[in-house]
Amino acid sequence: MNKILTELENRRAVARMGGGQRRIDAQHAKGKLTARERIDLLLDDGSFEEFDMFKAHRCVDFGMQDQQHPGDGVVTGWGTINGRMVYVYSQDFTVFGGSLSETHAEKICKIMDMAMQNGAPVIGLNDSGGARIQEGVASLAGYAEVFQRNVLASGVVPQISVIMGPCAGGAVYSPAMTDFIFMVKDTSYMFVTGPDVVKTVTNEVVTAEELGGASTHTKKSSVADAAFENDVEALTEVRRLVDFLPLNNQSKSPTRPFFDSPTRVEDSLDTLIPDNPNQPYDMKELILKLADEGDFYEIQEDFAKNILTGFIRIEGTTVGVVANQPTVLAGVLDIDSSRKAARFVRFCDAFEIPILTLVDVPGFLPGTSQEYGGVIKHGAKLLFAYGEATVPKVTVITRKAYGGAYDVMSSKHLRGDFNYAWPSAEIAVMGAKGATEIIHRQDLGDAEKIAAHTKDYEDRFANPFVAAEKGFIDEVIMPRNTRRRIARAFASLRGKQQANPWKKHDNIPL
């Protein structure tokens, strides 16, 4: 018996070595951790249960039968993050560059199937040279099996991708279908075709970093949701995100102890809005003051900064926040901000996370570049997302809510449950100056008359009361009491039940 036990230990030791010490050293020399070290950091101590440690590839071409590494380049299994179950796969770059073979794919598919069956998130740590070149179409088939599961799992369990090395070719499409993508600065990149192919086809000379590094994908393409300094920080932040999320679409977000009174009064909010309506202020300050313990997990911080998206907790429970940011482009809605916010709203709705919307929006950005770029369709995405969302929706208008953007930003008409406004709110079809220049065009040459008309329009519409008189605003609230008001609102909505008409699925303007 002892001999068999020793044999098991020996086999495990071989599997744990992946592609061998030389390649592990090379991985470390690049500033990257190994697949197993990453899992150790991601999961609670000692919680990892591995599957398929000895699984081997079946390829016999190109001398592959003589090159076997137990586990075949990916470590899979489940464990816990702060006591809550997650499934994880971690590609091992030391084995054939983490490339995906048929059996490697089978291992990933197995934990994805189990995650769906048992209702727990899937976290993929990606570090791979793409399809295992020696396996040809078997490897492509393996990718497609993973893709199919990504699609079926979407909206059922949260899926998180961390890009911790190369991610090229079709390999980018599995992360692309997951809910969140995180990258590690300087060591990870994602692209459909690498710099060499780009050079051949388009004659562009570009580095891998410029083409698909963390900066490109968090600031330009918006493919990635955040970038971190190194593996350790990335994995720590994934743990922090998982703490905000429900395990699946049938379970509620976790509620955790909080040490911040829901009735906390924030006097400073009474003076947050500057006297000059054109002067910006930082909406993030409001979010931090409303959140339990000032904790805000921002998503896509570096993209479309004119809108803020992310998670906070109110009374210990997760709330998704969407907020116009007046410090960037006056908080205007445009193509990028509409897309960013729409995707976030849909994630929250899919996983029953209530949504807080903070509104200070001068409208949609005008111009040819926006129209040619399809702002009509992209803006409609956000409109559609709010309109279909059935989760509790609480809206606070702090200042401007002009035009179509008023409608879009979780207005009463899109089934907002609580629509509050601060006394500084201005709810109108457009700003007073623009409105006057249209409806009093005949007086345009007379500055005095125009000033009088503008004042008249401001007096009539630059306030929340016209909307409140119509019941479109439920209550005009004191800024300092906002945390208490929204906490009570969300508490009252805990039992909310709302359904949309039966359909196979909707046809959101993509």
Q: Which residues bind ligand HXC (CB under 6 A)?
A: 23, 96-97, 99, 129-133, 140, 143, 166, 168-171
The C-alpha atoms of residue 313 and residue 319 are separated, in whole angstroms, by 6
What DSSP string describes 463-492? SSHHHHHTTSSSEE--GGGHHHHHHHHHHH
Nearer to ligand HXC, 143 or 344 (CB): 143
Residues 447-459 as b or e (16 or more Cβ within 10 Å = b): eeebeebbeebbe
Nearer to ligand HXC, 8 or 133 (CB): 133
Which member of 168, 389, 401, 405 is catalytic?
405
Which member of 176, 404, 434, 452 is catalytic?
404
Nearer to ligand HXC, 189 or 461 (CB): 189
Nearer to ligand HXC, 77 or 97 (CB): 97
Nearer to ligand HXC, 154 or 481 (CB): 154
404 annotated active-site: yes
Q: In the bound complex, what is the minimum distance in angstroms from residue 194's beta carbon to ligand HXC?
A: 6
Q: In the bound complex, what is the minimum distance in angstroms from residue 192's beta carbon to ligand HXC?
A: 9
Q: In the bound complex, what is the minimum distance in angstroms from residue 109's beta carbon to ligand HXC?
A: 14
Residues 276-311 as b or e (16 or more Cβ within 10 Å = b): eeeebbebbebbebbbbeeebbbbbbbbbbbbbbbb
363 annotated active-site: no
Q: In the bound complex, what is the minimum distance in angstroms from residue 268's beta carbon to ligand HXC?
A: 51
Q: In the bound complex, what is the minimum distance in angstroms from residue 36's beta carbon to ligand HXC?
A: 18
What DSSP string describes 273-315? S-SSTTS---HHHHHHHHSGGG--EEESTTS-TTEEEEEEEET
18 annotated active-site: no
313 phi-psi bin (left φ>0, alpha ψ -120 to 50, beta other):
beta
Q: CB neighbours of 417 closer than 8 A, spacing ≥ 6? A: 392, 393, 394, 489, 493, 496
Which residue, chain included where needed, has tokens 């769906």? 116
Q: In the bound complex, what is the minimum distance in angstroms from residue 201's beta carbon to ligand HXC?
A: 15
Q: In the bound complex, what is the minimum distance in angstroms from residue 231's beta carbon to ligand HXC?
A: 16
Which pair of tokens denotes residue 434? 């623009």
The C-alpha atoms of residue 199 and residue 205 are separated, in whole angstroms, by 6
How many CA atoms, within 13 angstroms, populate the side-chain half-sphere of residue 110? 17
Nearer to ligand HXC, 133 or 439 (CB): 133
What DSSP string describes 430-444? S-HHHHHHHHTGGGT
405 annotated active-site: yes
Which residue, chain included where needed, has tokens 């409208």? 363
Which member of 170, 316, 373, 434 is catalytic?
170
**For ligand HXC, which residue has the nearest CB?**
170
What are the C-alpha distances in Å from 374 to residues 305, 329, 379? 19, 19, 8
Which residue, chain included where needed, has tokens 């699984």? 55
Which member of 169, 310, 387, 416 is catalytic?
169
Nearer to ligand HXC, 149 or 378 (CB): 149
Largest CA distance in the chain: 102
Catalytic residues: 169-170, 404-405
